Structure 1
Amino acid sequence: MITILYTYRNRNLERIKRSLDSLKKQSNQNFEVLFIDYGSDQDLAIKVKDLIANYNFAKYEYLFTKYQPWNKSKALNYAVKKITADYCFNADVDMIFHPEFTSVLEKNKDLDKLVYFQVGFLSEEESSKDLNFDDYKIKFLTNEEATGMTLFPVQKLRDIQGFDEFFHFWGSEDTDIHNRLKKQGCQIEFYNSKLLMLHQWHKNYRQRETQKLNLELQLSRIVEINSIHLKYNVENQKVIVNSPKWGEISSEFDFKQLETFENELILTNETDVIDHFLFVKLPKFQDGILSVRFIQDEFQSTLKYKIKKAAGKKVPNYFSLKEINDKVLLHIISFYHTYPYSYKISKDLKSITFRIKK
């Protein structure tokens, strides 16, 4: 048996249906699907759960990570720790599979080998169509550098404590897992004998990224930071990179505790205030819930401030809320992502609320 793993958050239902419908057409049905919803909005999560209930080979599970940045590594690790199959395939809700796909997976099972697959990318227009696999027009094909769609021996993943959970938002976790498993002696094979997967178009993280504060959680330069971390793991010959708490996710109980906590600390955007919080107050806090709301200091908008600043007189230095966002998120993914926490940007983009349970 092979478990096909989907990790998901807030994507449209049509692409999920196309992907699961293509699995329904497989000539070999010796597989199961574990669909991990990494904190989608509640209304959409209900619709996704109802959709997946129509496929007898699929199981849906919701994780209470709605107010945390996207972390594919954590979602996959959560699944890897609980599945019972000897092999898993890292799928994607954007994939449409050839009817022979799972048959090829069966033929390539090897406890000492990873097999990753070539993917055909579709245009935006082509992705909106419902066609037989061979009737789609392919825009371009991936090469050996695209390592995402991989068949893994599950025990090998467990032996190295899974995907590196530093990698948040987008990029590098798939190449990193290949590098670390290769160092453990696993063979790695690129399968391109026959095209077995098509990728439905969507905007990627880079295309969505903005230089201003956004309701979508974003961290400036995270793709580059992830790339540097990938190189760090290679240069330092890293194999096991996660803490013993790898694959652990905040529980529903923790989520509700954070949501209902009322004792809030208000901090202005003065640079000294923010630095003291990040480097003193946050690391020293223990045994409870810390809730902080970051806002702009009212003085910053006054005429008095502007006159004094223009005159070269001493005034407070300020971070923008976007700068605070990037600093706090970088601290979270570096030091605090194993704790239950929530991170919210207000709808009017005028405040940020961070809560953590330590």
Structure 2
Amino acid sequence: MNKSISLLFAYRDRDHSRVFHSMKSLEKQTDKDFHVIFVDYGSSEKNSQTILNTLSEFNFVDYHYVAHPGLLWNKSKAFNYGIWKSKSDYIITADIDLIFHPEFVASAKRLAKPNNYTVFSYAYLQKEETTSDISNLKFSDLKPSHTGYITGSGLYPKPYLEKIHGFDEFYHFYGSEDEDLFIRLENAGLYKKEEERNMLAHQWHPRYPFEENNELSVQPKVSNIRRINLRHYQIARERKKVIPDNQEKWGVCYSKEDLNALLSPDVEYDLSNLSALVDHFINEELPSYKNKVVSVTFRKDKDQKSLKFFLRKMLKQNYQPLISLKEINDKILKKIIFEYRHHNYLYKIENDLRSIKFIIDLRNSSKN
């Protein structure tokens, strides 16, 4: 029986050279009967054009630009979109950093079974090797620093991915979305297999900054997100979930055109970082604007560094507590993750780190 396979990649604003190396290794597959679905989830216009030019060299790749740069990174949404686009019997979720053994696709087809899913071992390449031109090297010539199993790539029968409504779209940034998928697949009746042969090599890159960082940066980050994601996974495991909560519809993404709907808001706020203003707006005023597009800009209070402000604070005369823009950042991002993740929104931290803009369309949600 012929088994059709799609390899699914999720991407956003990464180095195009590592994507090129990955595609070159797929070009060398002994079994050419496969398809790549490459989902670009909200890269900048410049990077999306660069990666599109890179991928145009490979006739087995279908490129899809979804979301827009104002949305937070969400690998689950990107993969779910790709699952819907695939017409194959089996899907392999892949990392853009991977170099594939020439026999990988042929091996995957032998491993593909309707009642199990398979995870793969990675060979981790060294920095010096990754920064060289590795696309012309034989897979056997690669010299990894170590090997090990990782949750980032798997081989799945597509009907089961559809049965469990794909990846849980609660997970933002990085962490636990793959483990969550595994336990829900097993709750739905699949068995887990581990491929012992080393068929994948992982290109070196700096580790994602998982450690706690209390500093604001242009790239959105939220404090404690790994533990929040881990707790969500633990709940799914304890309750033996098959389908994620609040995910009746899945695989739906916003587009560049949806960004235009945010550029003419019905309501606009410009607020300082006074704690009372921030908390009241986020928890009371914003939810009241049903069926509106709401824009808010948070700025550092102009008097924050003045002598008058300092004296008021010391004497506690008419002093209103302030919170940092980093604290505001965390409040908004957690609000998005817990309540507004299915809405169209724009979140942007200005380059000078002195203001944050948040625009959200409360008229409807792609998931309602």
Q: TM-score range by the shorter chain?
A: over 0.9
Rounded Cα–Cα distance in structure 1 between residues aligned with 2:144 and 2:116: 29
SS in 1 for 2:192: strand
Rounded Cα–Cα distance in structure 1 between residues aligned with 2:48 and 2:80: 21
Rounded Cα–Cα distance in structure 2 between residues aligned with 1:172 and 1:85: 26
Residue from 128, 133, 139 that aligns with 2:145: 139
Gaps of 5+ in 2: 363-368
Gaps of 5+ in 1: none
Contact 2:92/2:155 (CA < 8 Å) preserved in 1? yes
Rounded Cα–Cα distance in structure 2 between residues aligned with 1:216 and 1:45: 17
Q: Deviations over 1:39-72 (max 9, x none)?
A: 1111111111111111010011111331121100
Runs of 4+ in structure 1 deviating by more than 3 angstroms, as ranges, are 207-210, 259-263
Residue from 284, 298, 306 that aligns with 1:294: 298
Q: Deviations over 1:152-194 (max 9, x none)?
A: 11111111111011110001000110001101110110111x2
Residue from 238, 242, 248 that aligns with 1:244: 248
Question: In structure 2, what residue type is equivalent to 1:71?
Answer: N
Hey, what does 2:64 align to over in structure 1?
Answer: 61
Rounded Cα–Cα distance in structure 2 between residues aligned with 1:236 and 1:172: 16
1:1-358 mapped onto 2 (5 Å cutoff): 1-129=4-132, 130=134, 131-143=137-149, 146-192=150-196, 194-206=197-209, 210-241=213-244, 242-261=246-265, 264-358=268-362
RMSD between superposed Cα atoms in Å: 1.5
Question: In structure 2, what residue type is equivalent to 1:137?
Answer: K
State which drifts further: 72-81 or 243-252.
Answer: 243-252
Contact 1:209/1:218 (CA < 8 Å) preserved in 2? no
SS in 2 for 1:294: strand
Q: Deviations over 1:63-105 (max 9, x none)?
A: 1331121100000011112211111100111000000000111
SS in 2 for 1:329: helix
Rounded Cα–Cα distance in structure 1 between residues aligned with 2:31 and 2:88: 16
Cα displacement (A) at 1:207: 5.5
Contact 2:123/2:145 (CA < 8 Å) preserved in 1? yes
Q: How many residues align?
A: 355
* TM score, norm. by length of structure 1: 0.96
Cα displacement (A) at 1:299: 2.5
Rounded Cα–Cα distance in structure 1 between residues aligned with 2:168 and 2:152: 14
Cα displacement (A) at 1:305: 1.4
SS in 2 for 1:29: coil
